[in-house]
Structure 1
Amino acid sequence: MKKAILFILLPTLLFAQDFAKHVNPFIGTGGHGHTFPGATVPYGMVQLSPDTRIDGSWDGCSGYHYDDSTIYGFSHTHLNGTGVSDYGDIMLMPTMAESSFDNKVYSSTFSHTNEKASAGFYSVKLDKHNIDVRLTSSTRVGFHEYTFNKDGQANIILDLNHRDKLLLGEVRIVNPTTIEILRRSEAWARDQYVYARIEFNVPLKVNLVKEENKENTKLEGIFKGTELALSFSKQVKKGEKILVKVTLSPTSYEGAKLNSSEIKHWDFEKVKKEAETLWNKELSKIEVTSDDKDKLAIFYTALYHTMMQPNIAQDLDGKYRGRDNQIHTAQGFDYYTVFSLWDTFRGAHPLYTLIDKKRTSDYINTFIKQYEQGGRLPVWELASNETDCMIGYHSVSVIADAMAKGITGFDYEKAFEASKASAMRDVLGLEAYKKNGFISMDDEHESVSKTLEYAYDDWCIAQMAQLLNKKEDYQYFMKRSQNWKNIFDWETGFMRPKKNGGWDKPFDPREVNNNFTEGNSWQYSFFVPQDIEGLIQAHGGKDKFEAKLDALFNAESKTTGREQVDVTGLIGQYAHGNEPSHHMTYLYNYVGKPEKTKEKVHYILNNFYKNTPDGLIGNEDCGQMSAWYVLSSMGIYAVTPGKREWSSVEPYFDKIKINLEFDSPSREITKSSSLKKLMLFEMSNEYHEEMGAVEAIDIDYINAKKIIPVPVIQAESKAFKDKLKIELKSQNSKDDIYFIINDKDDHLAKKMFVKFTKPFEILQTSTIEAYVKTNEGQSNTIFATFFKKPNNYSINIKSKYNPQYHAGGPEGLLDGILGTENWRKGDWQGYQSQDFEAVVDLKEVKNVTEISARFLQDQRSWILMPTKVEYYISDDNVNFTYFGSVNNTLDPKIEENIILNFIANETKNKKARYVKVIAKNFGKLPEWHQGFGGDAFIFVDEINIK
């Protein structure tokens, strides 16, 4: 029996204790945690924090890193633990003496000894001009207090070009104490709007302006431009304070003015106290008992991190900027932003179903509005922009989990409609997934991860369909949810990428490559949360599955292939620093070994979470890393969001009390609690009566038709010279496989599928179709096309390609198969830090009239066109003569993926047997590039010789 805990958590609302005192906002600001220490309130629009990094680097995604010693300013929006940089909107920096817009001048050093942070508060001393800064906030207003510790001219710098690319900046001087701002910017969110209202407690004058790359002293009016900064000044005496309130709005100047009413006074201590009260209200939802102050700090900081987002994204009157970039008004719910769903569907959102049902329904209402206004559910939504970062359509997991747990307040039918619409699109490999039952490398990059995550999401949609009595939809999506079986290699026990109908070779389960999302086969082969029993059986039963789990945790803690900064916190090949691994420790419960779950979970709790700046083993990722800690320390985890049950482990704390939103007694969990005991969530009577929820929710595969896994079409390569041997395999050796061969000579002939009995050979370009047939049914029909090479040339590559980008080996440059703009599918050869040089042997002397080679540019991935391509010819492969050259004319700053064919022609007949191709590497990436100082790649695909 799998061990699970499903429990009633009865609500109360008591927060007399000071839980906020345990929060240490510096946890995660060092190492690779990517958190920020600044002032915010639960789920607030404002995150007012110092910025120590302005380059958008990996460890600077939040704007702050504990290793730094320079502060550039204090901006009002920040991301908590993401892996991509954005935000840093409306940056202010206090200085003294002469104003400057050079951030190297207006920035200041600081010391951690003069820095403090707590829930809702941050302070620091700026060394350069001896200025004390204190920050706090309400939901939509950031509150600054600057103390100038010497006489002189005090300045407040407003730099709208801070961090992100400024698409349009506008500053309106309303009066000497009030200004209005629009900052429209581009970074991860391609078109972000932030309106702001800045109020000073004393009159300040504009003493310097930078507008459209020009500095002037225009003192009134409206300033606009893509380069825009202003300095506001006042003469101060030693010890004088200037207070500043900055109010944000996603909609308009009027919205910012309305939102400013959140703080109608200038009492900094009062705002700070109100922020602490808000935090205590939220943190009081879970009370833990411990004599270990570090454990309390880690727990309550983790809970704090889960409550820093999603962020409210509407004005006080309900107005918000929708996915259609129009202004709408939320009716009956609050509109939110920052949905890191690939991360948070796993633990953070299940935690919210436990302690924040109202916001859970608000999130889903937000999803529905984004579907109505943008045509699909959010994937990774940021500031009303779909970033399309990460994979899957995991909004459906959040929806299914809420429905399974009886959370109301949103339209179930509309949520299902939106979920189904998102799953029926023909993008990102979905077309092939629907047709073939899996995604191949030929169809889409990250094919293994996408197949697995789509399958889980489809199971979630099936659960919605079951609750809504949509029987056909239930069967359809339950069938799709079994597609993981089509990429499970029954011989190795791994999820493997497929290419052209067969397994891609060579295969190393430790290899991080473009067939997986931020991981490798080890880290994805256990992602079948919707059918754990099926996965156990696919391995041959509980004993073999347990052995596979043991092998995961006992393997060498080293990956191969591409360096992936997300893969951290390794225990064997388990990577706690990245989300795909988070459920794996609990899988031992499903084979009757809860003691192994306890051993692994408690090891992680003890070793991977610390009360230090580098106290997170990987990116916080908008609360998911911390949600794992919160849930696991309580003794539960949602292995399968979309089911009511929680997988269990011995609690980490002596006593845990959970307080929910309504006026009822709390529920206590202790280490002596019986974790085998099943307990149910409290559901509303209305939900029971209308949905019949209890009977319908715990759905498994008993009532769903099983799929037959597709066969494998295996050959040595996709291209061949003379003949090619083809073999067909099925997961069960007793299965019957049927196939047909279509080639160019008989493509119009009516052919019948025949039973496969032994390997066969093809002699020309052919397409093989095959399916498996059993007593229980028939698999999808799959296709594989094998190409007879258009020549018998051979190639000797002098350079060394990156093993991640091999295009099938050297012959891949002569096989007539052309790569597409999506280089991640594996049809390009990649060379870094070197020129490309190769010699093609034509096998005999021929007249050569044209030589060409195709190259790809994707500058965001460090792939740039060669600066020049040179061609030489020879009769003896020793003495080469010049044939021609082509200089690159493509701008390296272009962001689109572009393919160019570098063609050299010769009108006179030139005889040669050997052709040499040399492509000059771009070299070091320039200062404008995000990878400044790194080495560019050359990506080459096909060499053609006429």
Structure 2
Amino acid sequence: MRRLIIATLSIMISLGCAAGIFNFGKISYTQYVNPFVGTDFHGHTFPGAAYPFGMIQLSPDTRTDNWDGCSGYHYSDSTIWGFSHTHLSGTGCADYCDLLVMPVVDYEAFVAAMEEAAGREIENFPQDYIFNEYYESPFSHSYEKASPGYYGVFLERWGVQADLSVGRRSAMHKYLFPKGVEPQLVIDLEHRDKVLDSNIKQEGHNAISGRRRSQSWAKDQDLYFYMEFNRPIKLAQIAGGEGYGAKALITFKKSFFSSDLYVKVGISSVSVENARENVCSEIKRWHFGEVKYKADKAWNKFLSKIEVVGDENLMEVFYTALYHTAIAPNLYSDVNGEYRGMDRKVHKAEGYDRYTVFSLWDTFRSLHPLLTIIDRERTTDFIRSFLSIYDECGKLPIWELAANETNCMIGYHSVPVIADAIVKGIGGFDANAALDAMIESSRKAEFGIDVYINNGLVLAEKEHESVSKTLEYAVDDW
């Protein structure tokens, strides 16, 4: 910890850290952020569009089937499967990549040509052909770009330019298709995780909605979505949903005036209605530039909490790192305050925002102490989220994901996060209730905690990882 503090101070001194924080100047701090940092080797980050601590992370998926596919993207890949709406950043376990969307052109003819080349006839179209080996597209990093709140890439197979941006609880896609074609979108809810239940349905002439309940690292994740288009739907071919993921091929009417297709998306853990309200409350016009501008403005506001000046290469290192501190935890409650809790029931966050993705073993040492300094109000929301999790499942979060306790890693590190906030004078939550939750969570007869209490340490013959657990529990108790 001491080395971490010294290293942090060293880089801030070398950059020339300004006398104060929370300095909202006119400089664009997002120009110093490189979202591709960490997407290669074993970094497990993603380059797509995200909002500070936002609900949606809209990013390309290039792999999902190995450890380096935890985030859904790896820089060494040359093929994009599509763009999904939830992503984890920097984790060692894989999940999310929900609700995949991919623009395609003349899809049936393309599939027929592939099947003919393989000596097969096309049957049961489209349900048997909405798989990534058909709709994937090669791409080049030369035609890929990203900045905080924005991602763009050219899809070579389909000749489509894709641009993506996000709000707090919403997303917008902009696809520039070749002139004179009927735009098409593939929607794949079977992508990545085991699907427990799913459906897609058309809503009126220019929207679809649906649900995806899945099982992976989070054992029971519910995601509802509402997706609206700026063009009328000509044909919605929907398949699946009974025992496997629903899929759809959406064809839109041709326009002689524009080659663009815009898509607005909202998601929710509660209902399609809430997903619709989430997106409609934030994106009221078909104006991609406006969504992108607001996302950039939000990121500049967050990044400007610490102002540094100096060598531009070091500034890129600093602000890219600061950017990654605000990818997660993620907003979980809807615009009306509702969310699906640990008990699978619908609850309402009154007077605060409920968050998810609390990887506390990773974050209690440095991320949360930083946020108690530069984002005190959000820290209150985090702690109130901890306490609501405790109310719903009987213990503070260890590694909570989408209202599921994964029990990943060791310790009960919500405890020092809460204690640190109290010591620093952060309020807005019931301190007595927090103390009760801290004590109860430290007395659970699980993961060797009972052995630790009875013996003053975790005995190796009673519990694996005994030394590490003894150290972690001691730190949390202290």
Flag whether TM exceeds 0.5 (same fold). Answer: yes
Hey, what's the Cα distance between the residues in 2 that align with 1:406 and 1:322?
28
Hey, what's the Cα distance between the residues in 1 that align with 2:90 and 2:325?
11
Is 1:287 the equivalent of 2:297?
no
* Structure 2 letter corresponding to 1:160: L
Give the SS at the match of 2:435.
helix
1:51 to 61, 86, 111: 61
* Structure 2 letter corresponding to 1:458: D
1:104 to 111, 126, 133: 133
Q: Which residue of 1 aligns with 2:182?
A: 153
Asked if 1 retains the 8 angstrom alpha-carbon contact of 2:35 and 2:148, the reply is: yes
Quote how far apart the aligned CAs of 1:235 are.
4.9
Task: Encode CA deviations 1:610-654: one digit per residue, 9 max, x unaligned.
Answer: xxxxxxxxxxxxxxxxxxxxxxxxxxxxxxxxxxxxxxxxxxxxx
Task: Encode CA deviations 1:168-207: one digit per residue, 9 max, x unaligned.
Answer: 1011211121111111111110000111100000012344
Hey, what's the Cα distance between the residues in 2 that align with 1:123 and 1:225?
34
Asked if 1 retains the 8 angstrom alpha-carbon contact of 2:235 and 2:252, the reply is: no
Hey, what's the Cα distance between the residues in 2 that align with 1:318 and 1:11?
31
Q: Which residue of 2 aligns with 1:345?
A: 364
Is 1:394 the equivalent of 2:413?
yes
1:176 to 164, 182, 205: 205
Hey, what's the Cα distance between the residues in 2 that align with 1:382 and 1:16?
37
**1:250-649 aligned within 5 A:** 250-260=269-279, 261-290=281-310, 292-459=311-478
Quote how far apart the aligned CAs of 1:234 are.
2.4
Q: 1:376 to 1:69 in 2, by over 3 A?
A: same
Asked if 1 retains the 8 angstrom alpha-carbon contact of 2:232 and 2:253, the reply is: no
Is 1:226 the equivalent of 2:254?
no
Q: Can you give the 5+ residue segments of structure 1 that lack an aligned partner in the other structure? A: 213-223, 460-946
Quote how far apart the aligned CAs of 1:408 are.
1.1
Q: Which has the higher helix share?
A: 2
Quote how far apart the aligned CAs of 1:225 are.
4.7
Asked if 1 retains the 8 angstrom alpha-carbon contact of 2:234 and 2:253, the reply is: no
Hey, what's the Cα distance between the residues in 1 that align with 2:337 and 2:236?
37
Task: Encode CA deviations 1:203-253: one digit per residue, 9 max, x unaligned.
Answer: 1234433315xxxxxxxxxxx552310010125469601000111111111
* Structure 2 letter corresponding to 1:119: P
Hey, what's the Cα distance between the residues in 1 that align with 2:21 and 2:319?
19
Quote how far apart the aligned CAs of 1:150 are.
4.2
* Structure 2 letter corresponding to 1:44: G
Q: Which residue of 2 aligns with 1:187?
A: 216
Hey, what's the Cα distance between the residues in 1 that align with 2:24 and 2:156?
42
Task: Encode CA deviations 1:454-508: one digit per residue, 9 max, x unaligned.
Answer: 011111xxxxxxxxxxxxxxxxxxxxxxxxxxxxxxxxxxxxxxxxxxxxxxxxx
Quote how far apart the aligned CAs of 1:11 are.
6.3
Hey, what's the Cα distance between the residues in 1 that align with 2:292 and 2:408?
35
Give the SS at the match of 2:77.
coil
TM-score (norm 1): 0.46
Hey, what's the Cα distance between the residues in 2 that align with 1:69 and 1:204?
31
Identity %: 49
Aligned residues between the structures: 443
Give the SS at the match of 1:440.
coil
Asked if 1 retains the 8 angstrom alpha-carbon contact of 2:71 and 2:91, the reply is: yes
Q: Which residue of 2 aligns with 1:94?
A: 103
Quote how far apart the aligned CAs of 1:361 are.
1.0
Quote how far apart the aligned CAs of 1:254 are.
1.6
2:78 to 46, 63, 69: 69
Hey, what's the Cα distance between the residues in 2 that align with 1:107 and 1:374?
41
**1:657-806 aligned within 5 A:** none
* Structure 2 letter corresponding to 1:91: L
Hey, what's the Cα distance between the residues in 2 that align with 1:84 and 1:33?
12
Quote how far apart the aligned CAs of 1:10 are.
6.5
Quote how far apart the aligned CAs of 1:320 are.
1.4
Hey, what's the Cα distance between the residues in 2 that align with 1:162 and 1:435?
47
Quote how far apart the aligned CAs of 1:31 are.
1.0
Q: Which residue of 2 aligns with 1:805?
A: none
Give the SS at the match of 1:175.
coil
Asked if 2 retains the 8 angstrom alpha-carbon contact of 1:148 and 1:237, the reply is: no
Q: Which residue of 2 aligns with 1:616?
A: none
Quote how far apart the aligned CAs of 1:64 are.
0.3
Task: Encode CA deviations 1:589-629: one digit per residue, 9 max, x unaligned.
Answer: xxxxxxxxxxxxxxxxxxxxxxxxxxxxxxxxxxxxxxxxx
TM-score (norm 2): 0.90
Hey, what's the Cα distance between the residues in 2 that align with 1:152 and 1:12?
49
Give the SS at the match of 1:171.
strand
Q: Which residue of 1 aligns with 2:113?
A: none
Q: Which residue of 2 aligns with 1:113?
A: 142
Hey, what's the Cα distance between the residues in 2 that align with 1:76 and 1:44?
11
Q: Which residue of 1 aligns with 2:194?
A: 165
2:267 to 236, 248, 256: 248
Structure number with greater Rg is 1
Give the SS at the match of 1:117.
strand
Asked if 2 retains the 8 angstrom alpha-carbon contact of 1:341 and 1:380, the reply is: yes
Q: Which has the higher strand share?
A: 1
Q: 1:11 to 1:33 in 2, by over 3 A?
A: closer
Hey, what's the Cα distance between the residues in 2 that align with 1:227 and 1:370?
29
Q: 1:333 to 1:227 in 2, by over 3 A?
A: closer
Asked if 1 retains the 8 angstrom alpha-carbon contact of 2:87 and 2:95, the reply is: yes
Asked if 2 retains the 8 angstrom alpha-carbon contact of 1:192 and 1:385, the reply is: yes
Give the SS at the match of 2:344.
coil
Give the SS at the match of 1:86.
coil
Give the SS at the match of 2:182.
strand
